[in-house]
Structure 1
Amino acid sequence: MASNSVTSYSILQRALHWLMAALIFFNLIFSDGMEHWNRLMRRGETITPDDVSSANIHAYVGIAILLLCLVRLVVRLVQGAPEAPSEEPALMKLGAKIAHWTLYALFILMPVTGIAKYYFGNDTLGELHGGPLKVLLWALIVAHILGALVHQFYWKTNVLARMTRGV
């Protein structure tokens, strides 16, 4: 990875970041259709075409997140990423690196476990998807946002600008 010479994220990297963020928030906030479908399945109740359509929206958005994540990883490996600012303490740099790579892992694991439940009926992976992985994803999103705000307002670095304006 050629991250030493990279000072900002490319337009493609920023677009992928924000598109994925929007899709992830959509699926986390508007998961009612899938949850309703899952309740009907567990109870053995009748599932209508509207129920399937609502669940499919969640599934298709999840698949899009998975595909975009794979593209994003390839782009990151090819184009690199900026180094953490020097103002960031070493322990925080390590924590940020672990959190970022864990987010990438979740961007893959969440759709894969959701696909395993929805399309293949794997209840164990479905429980993992809607339980601990979802909680971990929310926690890391909050930590990610808080980290960006600390950079902006405490360390006064350009981390937020690198992912918004590309400076």
Structure 2
Amino acid sequence: MGSTTVTGYSIPQKALHWMMALLILFNLIFSDGMEHWNRLMRRGEPITPDDIASANIHAYVGIAVLVLCLVRLCLRLVQAVPEAPADEPPIARLVAKVTHWAFYAIFLAMPLSGIGKYYFGNDIAGELHGGPIKLLLWALIVLHILGVLVHQFFWRTNLLRRMA
């Protein structure tokens, strides 16, 4: 019984990656409804059904990210992932591995902290959600994109085709 080397991501893994990317970017860019709801709550001002609807969109997208992350983790365990390109320097392999697992941690922490604030009124969770976790997520997104670009155009490993 031989072992099989995984050379690319499966279609479900690719679909989950891109769905999550779009949902996460949506929530990062269009968070006004939730921020407006939060300002009204802090000031004790009246909240309209439209305010709640706008905040709910942000919350539901975040919950979708949480669910998709759990599915993605299960697929990762069942289907495995491709090895790093052979020419990749060891330090870059380590950075990639740490970055990917940090993404998973944030994909869990971000929605859970949002749930803690929105549904349970936990202000500490809200501060973490809109502060350090959000900042770290943006930093990881930039690092991830830079890593792909370095692979594609400097090392010429054509890494992008594995997820495209």
Q: TM-score, normalised by structure 2?
A: 0.97
Question: Percent identity over the alignment?
Answer: 72
Q: Given the two structures, how large is their TM-score scaled by the length of structure 1?
A: 0.96
- Unaligned segments of structure 1, at least 5 residues: none
Q: Which runs of 5+ in 2 are unaligned?
A: none
After superposition, residues 138-149 of structure 1 pair within 5 angstroms as: 138-149=138-149
Residue in 1 that maps onto 2:122 = 122
Q: After superposition, give the CA deviation of every residue in 1:103-153 in whole Å (9 maximum; x if it has no partner).
A: 000000000000000000000010000000000000000000000000000
Q: How does 1:102-121 map to 2 (within 5 A)?
A: 102-121=102-121
How far apart, CA to CA, are the structure 2 residues paired with 1:26 and 1:119? Answer: 21
Which one-letter code corresponds to 1:50 in the other structure? D
CA RMSD across the alignment: 1.0
Count of residue pairs the alignment pairs up: 162
Matches of residues 16-95 of structure 1 in structure 2 within 5 Å? 16-95=16-95
Q: Bigger relative contact order, structure 1 or 2, given CA contacts below 8 A and separation 6+?
A: 1
Match of 1:132 in 2: 132
Q: Deviations over 1:80-112 (max 9, x none)?
A: 000000111101100110000000000000000
| Equivalent position SS for 2:156 | coil
Shift of 1:4: 6.6
Instruction: Find runs of 4+ consecutive structure 1 residues off by over 2 angstroms.
Output: none
Aligned equivalents of 2:16, 2:158: Cα separation in 1: 19
CA distance in 2, matches of 1:123, 1:25: 24
Distance 1:126 1:4 in 2: 44
Give, in whole Å, the separation in 1 of the partners of 2:88 and 2:150.
Answer: 10
